[in-house]
Structure 1
């Protein structure tokens, strides 16, 4: 990543960092889609088992892996300050911490998985498949957590196309392993839904090995000598990683778990309503990849500029990213308004489900507008290493404003299921406005520091 001197140069550099992140996120989304789809073609029970296992795993993984996202601003600021020798030490400490976190997850899973599945009202066969899927997936948890650290290192240097290459390479491999292990092709065991878990685990090992090879053998990564020497454990560095990472992880956990909570609360509605809600929410999650990718790109470029003490450039990147996000949200909104019935038709042919899904998609439009503000601002604030306010606003906007308001509207007004969406949109909008105020405060504070340093 290079220093830029004009808005045009910044726009160009931001784009070249952003588009590989977007493709990477889409590919990761597709990987989960293939697991679900291919299990569904094997049998309805395997589809249900994989879906249950996934719903238990995803909030845990996204929350804990969010802690490791702190490596991106840490490395970006070190790179911006040209403290290259400190980069290797920080990355290795992140790898150590990721392994410990993975071992804790494995230990906790061994203790609580069976009791959790037993408490759920599931058919015996579905419960067995969910258990087997998660056990199979656990074989890849350690490399998955390590890969998250390595990807943060690659991305923090602005080389997001490398992460894109690794993910795009893994996507067809994951689909191939799914085909071989779910259906038992070419002499491989026929494992059904559990095969999807083993396929993911094998894929996690492969992408970690590929990442290690690239970091050790290719430039500019090899010049950092990440694995050229042994570093002892440094708990002070772990403290720095956790101090930044825990608020990020909790913020992501609050965000992902709220939708699981809403889905559970909506179980009292009829099947058509639940199916329509899930279809619209799935497409809204797909569209969220755009502001999320902009958020991740802003963490990199803002962290780089802050590390170099170029606070004016960091602010310019932030506003460029926000402008792109809002314009994309408007474009996505126009697509939703115009083609919402076509989008609903991707998920169903049932006329009642299709019509209700199209209505839910109108509310997804307002999700996009709020996400266009809050996600990029979160990314920019992480670049400044200002993460506590993001964590607090995730808690307040989703769980203190969004969910209670949604519950009230859904159960005590005529809005019914739409009430949950309105509540979440209101909470998200409130959080976005508060984060905007925080961003302006941080930028002014850094600007004042820069002016005093010049005097």
Structure 2
């Protein structure tokens, strides 16, 4: 890399960093919800931890796909903001809330009927009962969670991620004591110990509180005045705007759904192998999810700047930022992935003192460095293409690589369907090996597609 190229990369990093770090901190706070759940329930009982793994997989499967649809507001509002069409950008928030409300009704109904997930996991009756109680409370948490995603997407689009970060940290601060109260109980206040179900109740309370404060911020902060937002009522549904949100949001949501379910369905299938196997996977999965927040912050910041540059007609700047965001994400992921791999044993012991669960998770972290670099690369590439409103082709790549190779291949290896699986790849390790392969393939495919999109959009 020449000195001039290095200087340009550093300049891009200086533009990306102020937007990336609040997203990173905020998303770590969001992930800390599940981390806190995992750590606290792991110390409560292995049975509740198994129920948490299955229930969390079911909730995430529903939430993330719908979240992706709502977050289509980001590139749309970002381009409008870059073009200085502030009122048009503000109007997108109301339309995104309508999308969130409709999806909330469907999602909450699915959470109250978890039979398909329980069947896929072949959950034992005692686990199934706990899963149902946990998801029942999360059905109450879904509506405020999805509506908040509209608020989050809008603020990211207009370069105001610190507000979202503050609210996410506040929700976490409320979640921790509520978790302790409802998981372990407090006889003095006649609060029973609820185990995994207590996590769901704590999340529901925290999410409604977070949404209430977000509404108050929209009402009181003068920053939002130029956007023409009405906080006492929703604008009527505007069908052209809803159509555009869904045109971009459906493939975005499906892409995120494929990406996440390629991972969460691992937990459901691994649960068939026993409580210890799924508990070990839960720790490893939570760790790589925590690591993912750094490239996710970089990807969010990059797509914001790219979308704003497109709206302002600065196409060369958009192209340069896209490539630099990809390079920065890969470099950071390489350093972080290598560090965690070298320190994997003490990191796992920070989760639990149960030597059996640590032993089950340890082999899975052998895949972490390659997994993380591939995950970071494909994520940044996908986000850059969303800034250009390209989402359908990435969805197809995800389906083939993550579902076909990752999940399908992992099932074949883990359960030795061909009779040819070597001993080290039986069980959970087979799923992780196939998942890494799928992520590498998706990274290669998405980077190639990104190169084509950038050349096509800029004429280079």
TM-score by length of 2: 0.87
**What secondary structure, in the 3-state scheme, does the structure 2 residue paired with 1:158 have?**
coil
Distance 2:90 2:202 in 1: 31
Q: Is the 8 A contact 2:120 2:268 kept in 1?
A: no
Please provide the CA RMSD for this pair. 2.8
Offset from partner CA, 1:152-184 (integer Å, 9 cap, x none): 111111111111111111111111222333414
Q: What corresponds to 1:312 in structure 2? A: 316
5+ residue gaps, structure 2: 1-6
Q: What corresponds to 2:421 in structure 1? A: 413
**What secondary structure, in the 3-state scheme, does the structure 1 residue paired with 2:189 have?**
coil
Q: What corresponds to 2:64 in structure 1? A: 62
Alignment of 1:427-438 (within 5 A): 427-438=438-449
Q: What corresponds to 1:19 in structure 2? A: 21
Q: What corresponds to 1:252 in structure 2? A: 256
Q: What corresponds to 2:12 in structure 1? A: 10
Alignment of 1:308-387 (within 5 A): 308-347=312-351, 354=358, 357-387=361-391
Q: What corresponds to 2:86 in structure 1? A: 84
Distance 1:205 1:170 in 2: 9
5+ residue gaps, structure 1: none
Distance 1:115 1:363 in 2: 30
TM-score by length of 1: 0.88
Alignment of 1:226-241 (within 5 A): 226-227=229-230, 231-241=235-245
Distance 1:338 1:41 in 2: 26
> Does 134-143 or 335-344 show the bigger shift?
335-344
* 1:345 to partner: Cα distance: 3.3
- Report how many residues are paired: 444
Distance 2:213 2:297 in 1: 23
Q: What corresponds to 1:174 in structure 2? A: 175
* 1:262 to partner: Cα distance: 3.0
Cα 1:72–1:273 change in 2 (3 A) is same
Distance 1:359 1:126 in 2: 26
> Does 313-322 or 407-416 show the bigger shift?
407-416
Q: What corresponds to 1:139 in structure 2? A: 140
Distance 2:344 2:56 in 1: 27
* 1:52 to partner: Cα distance: 3.2
Alignment of 1:198-213 (within 5 A): 198-213=201-216
* 1:124 to partner: Cα distance: 4.5
Cα 1:181–1:305 change in 2 (3 A) is same
Query: Are residue 301 (structure 1) and residue 305 (structure 2) matched?
Result: yes
Q: Is the 8 A contact 1:42 1:192 kept in 2?
A: no
Distance 2:376 2:52 in 1: 31
Q: Is the 8 A contact 1:336 1:362 kept in 2?
A: no
Q: Is the 8 A contact 1:214 1:221 kept in 2?
A: no
Q: What corresponds to 2:4 in structure 1? A: none
Q: Is the 8 A contact 1:63 1:253 kept in 2?
A: yes
Cα 1:114–1:361 change in 2 (3 A) is closer
**What secondary structure, in the 3-state scheme, does the structure 2 residue paired with 1:192 have?**
coil
Q: Is the 8 A contact 1:409 1:419 kept in 2?
A: yes
> Does 57-66 or 326-335 show the bigger shift?
326-335
Distance 1:240 1:447 in 2: 23
Distance 1:308 1:267 in 2: 50
Distance 1:331 1:121 in 2: 39
Alignment of 1:243-282 (within 5 A): 243-266=247-270, 275-282=279-286
Distance 1:132 1:7 in 2: 50
